[in-house]
């Protein structure tokens, strides 16, 4: 399973990268705005800075919602660095743009996926990744994890190469359940990944080992 970090914060990206388990980064316009990154030149410079930290797979989202605009913006983003994956929303023109980028060998991440039908359409268009937003489904009393299971099942039925990138992952159990269901990737805040470290028996076991060692050494 691949771990992506879902942020535009450079310090967090560096910290996740330093942990040695990071496979990529996802951003979106809200996350860029949260970091105060505005204006085309600053946004592009920020994407380049992110690409300077990680080995590969940096999702950068288009703002345009029409076909021509998405193609123009997507090409500009892809030109910034080979690591860029162009993030395209699940809308009619987005599907057409994904097909175009697929034919040009440019990787895409189809975002704002809320149904298995949308995921099927994105895979048929040739998306490299689909991003089902599980937390936002949970927020409205639909089971986001059910959707992950459905998409994994459909893709396995037909051997689609599109990777299931679970997004809007809010807590560590989301991540673990996504792993059980066979999601290819999760993207989440750093604390969701570091949450995997925690177990009280690890802490008490280590404390006991160290205490026993110190006792034996003092004899």
Q: Which residues bind ligand G3P (CB under 6 A)?
A: 6, 26, 28, 131, 133, 135-136, 167-168, 170, 187
**Of 2, 87, 96, 124, catalytic:** 87
Alpha carbon 131 to its chain centroid, in Å, reads 7
Q: How far apart are CB 27 and ligand G3P at their closest, in Å?
A: 8
Compare residues 5 and 100 and give the one whose CB is closer to ligand G3P.
5
CA dihedral 154, 157, 163, 164 (to 10 degrees): 30
Nearest partner of 76 among 50, 102, 100, 106, judged by Cα: 106
Q: How far apart are CB 20 and ligand G3P at their closest, in Å?
A: 22
Compare residues 26 and 108 and give the one whose CB is closer to ligand G3P.
26
Compare residues 100 and 175 and give the one whose CB is closer to ligand G3P.
175
Q: How far apart are CB 135 and ligand G3P at their closest, in Å?
A: 5
Q: How far apart are CB 119 and ligand G3P at their closest, in Å?
A: 15
87 given a catalytic annotation: yes
Compare residues 95 and 169 and give the one whose CB is closer to ligand G3P.
169
Compare residues 67 and 163 and give the one whose CB is closer to ligand G3P.
163
Beta-carbon count within 10 A of 104 CB: 11
Q: How far apart are CB 172 and ligand G3P at their closest, in Å?
A: 14
Residue 17 CA to residue 6 CA, distance in Å, equals: 13
Residue 28 CA to residue 25 CA, distance in Å, equals: 10
- The catalytic residue positions are 87
């Amino acid at each position: 399973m691949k771990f992506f970090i879902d942020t535009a914060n450079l310090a967090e990206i560096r910290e996740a990268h330093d942990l040695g388990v990071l496979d990529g980064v996802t951003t979106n316009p809200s996350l860029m705005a949260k970091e105060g990154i505005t204006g085309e030149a600053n946004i592009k410079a920020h994407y380049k800075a992110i690409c300077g930290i990680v080995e590969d797979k940096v999702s950068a989202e288009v703002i345009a919602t029409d076909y021509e605009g998405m193609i123009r913006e997507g090409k500009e983003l892809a030109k910034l660095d080979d690591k860029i994956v162009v993030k395209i929303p699940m809308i009619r023109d987005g599907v057409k743009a994904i097909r175009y980028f697929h034919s040009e060998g440019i990787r895409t991440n189809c975002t704002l996926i809320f149904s298995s039908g949308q995921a099927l359409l994105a895979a048929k268009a040739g998306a490299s990744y689909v991003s089902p937003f599980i937390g936002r489904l949970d927020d409205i009393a639909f089971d986001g994890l059910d959707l992950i299971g459905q998409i994994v099942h459909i893709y396995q039925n037909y051997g689609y190469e599109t990777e299931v990138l679970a997004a809007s992952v809010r807590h560590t159990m989301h991540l673990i359940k996504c792993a059980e269901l066979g999601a290819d990737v999760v993207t989440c805040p750093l604390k969701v990944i570091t949450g995997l470290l925690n177990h009280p028996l690890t802490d008490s076991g280590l404390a006991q080992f160290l205490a026993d060692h110190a006792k034996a050494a003092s004899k």
